[in-house]
Amino acid sequence: MPTTEEETSAGADRLIADRYRLEQRIGGGAMGIVWAGTDELLRRPVAVKEVLLPKGMPEGEAAELRERALREARAIALVTHPNVVTLYDVARHEGEPFVVMELVPSQSLAAVLSEHGALGDPQLALVADGVAAALDAAHRAGIVHRDVKPGNVLIGDDGRIKLSDFGISRNVSEHTITSTGIMLGTPAFIAPEIASGEAVTDAADLWGLGATLFAASEGAAPYGTDDDPLATITSVVRGPVPAAHRVGPIAEIIASLMIKDPAQRMSAQEVRRQVQGLLPPSGSRPFEMLLDPDAPTVRVRKPASTARSSTEAQAEQEPAQLAADPGPLPFMLTDPPPAPRKRFRWAAVALVLAAVVLFAGSAAGGFAATRVLAGRDVLPQLDRPAPVNPTTPRLARYVDEADRTEDGRGSFEVTAPEGWSSFRGSRNQPTESMIVYLVSPDGASEVAVERFQDYYGDGYTSQDYVDVLEQRSAGQHGRFSLEVDEASGAVESTSGEADRHLRYTSSQGGLIGPASTAEGRVTTSQVMPRGGDLWVLRVTSPGDRPADNDELFTTALNSFRLTGA
């Protein structure tokens, strides 16, 4: 079996569609990888998105993920604007779509906020102006982005602001993808009308802009925790709109965007008008000291190559000849696919995507609440089995990957009730993690598997995880009670720590509905050091169902198994 380095080398040396050379992995998520590369025909740098399909994914779901990649390409193709990442091409290679885009040396606003905290007024004004301009252009083209958040705002090394990841955008003339695994937004930034299943208009993006500016102004997302995404979305729909502590024009803009009635929100044009007096002087670089120059997404220039022949050196100085044939027109995925392609794995580069955004990486897994809060089933009615009887649930084996970097260690198996829906998300407490959620049809219970990659190698301990549980589970105004915290099992040699068994109850302040009951929510979890990673298996249920929680947790824990290398 090839080593991780060999797999990375093979992946980074591929030539896609006889034109695009993949050189360096700069980002990735649960469903895709982003490469820095070169268009060998035009000799310009490009970013290439590759669809990454989990092992064992049904072909129907795989087709929807491919369609999502094309949906993003179609959306960006309609929007030509300096503040939107430019689409260059959609190429098909070995039956899979590759989206070829502008390569922007940059970091995401989320990465900047995580490292440096809240921004100043000139920086906020630049973000507001750039994103508002991008949204105005998209809306004029009939495109609703639907996932405006700090992770999708890129800050270029020259100070440019770019809006990226139109993967769940919607053209008003198209039908919306609505099926298992297609995420509808990020809970802490999702517009109330999206969360409650109502019609989505341009105004949903204006809420996202307001929530993004709130996070950039306050240094924290407007709505509590994604550790309980159902509770977060309940707060968005039914809770009060949080008020920013900052005063002045930026605070007024945020308040005018984060209005629950879509018709009352400030327009993108008005946002731009109001920030003009706060913008930094032309030519200045207000983010220069905040970007990490060593981040792969900033340092995406072509890496120094080995010694080249004089012929190669001369060729670089000569103008490229135009192709005799520019190639076929954009393709349809209904064409017969070629023979199955060889599967590759790649090594880790674990920094936040900024050249172009993660496929769904930063998205959290509680999107089932978009239907629950609207009084509907968790997912739109498709050809699905009848709901499981909660008193005598049939069990099923779930196989998935809690993996950002395809290092081969993120695969696992776990048993849970049949018919539960699977979603992926991420957290940044106490450090970045990848989470797979299994959510019950009624949205009340979930089994979650969370992986913190290289956790102990980065100097964290299991206690660091326990210390942030209250903030993760209850937010600033909720209730939290840690009832059980005890060692379980032998000491793991790599970390020097044993498993920990935890049980706690929590609720976020003011919650109503299926995500919260009078007794709050009870969570039982196992904190497991494994080979330098920290794995957490947890089961969360309404507080009035402790017996169900115990039974479900015992089933999940006894069946949990890591299957990666």
User: And the tokens for 354?
Assistant: 């900024």
274: left (phi over 0), alpha (psi -120 to 50) or beta: alpha
d(C-alpha 7, C-alpha 397), whole Å: 29
- Could you check whether the bond before residue 430 is cis, i.e. omega within 30 degrees of 0? yes
- Return the half-sphere exposure (C-beta side, CA atoms, 13 A cut-off) of residue 142: 8
Number of C-beta neighbours around residue 223 at 10 A = 24
Let me know: does 135 contact 143? Beta carbons within 8 Å: no
d(C-alpha 494, C-alpha 509), whole Å: 39
Q: Nearest 5°: phi and psi at 458?
A: -85, 5
d(C-alpha 170, C-alpha 115), whole Å: 32
Residue 49 labelled as part of a binding site: yes
H-assigned helices in 319-419 = 369-372
Q: 12-42 burial, b for 16+ CB within 10 Å, e for fewer?
A: bebebbebbbbbbbbbbbbbbbbbbbbbeee
Let me know: does 183 contact 194? Beta carbons within 8 Å: no
313 CB-near residues (< 8 Å, 6+ apart) = none
H-assigned helices in 239-309 = 249-257, 268-275
Active site residue 227: no
282: amino acid identity, one letter: S
The CA-atom distances, in angstroms, between 265 and each of 130, 171, 207, 328, 391 are: 18, 21, 8, 44, 46
Q: Nearest 5°: phi and psi at 301?
A: -60, 155
**What secondary structure letter does DSSP report for 442?**
T
Q: Residues 39, 129, 147, 205: which is the catalytic one? A: 147
d(C-alpha 267, C-alpha 139), whole Å: 11
- Closest by CA position to 447, among listed 457, 439, 455: 439
For the packed helices 203-218 and 121-140, what is the interaxial angle rounded to 10 degrees?
Answer: 170
Binding residue numbers for ATP: 49
Catalytic machinery residues: 147
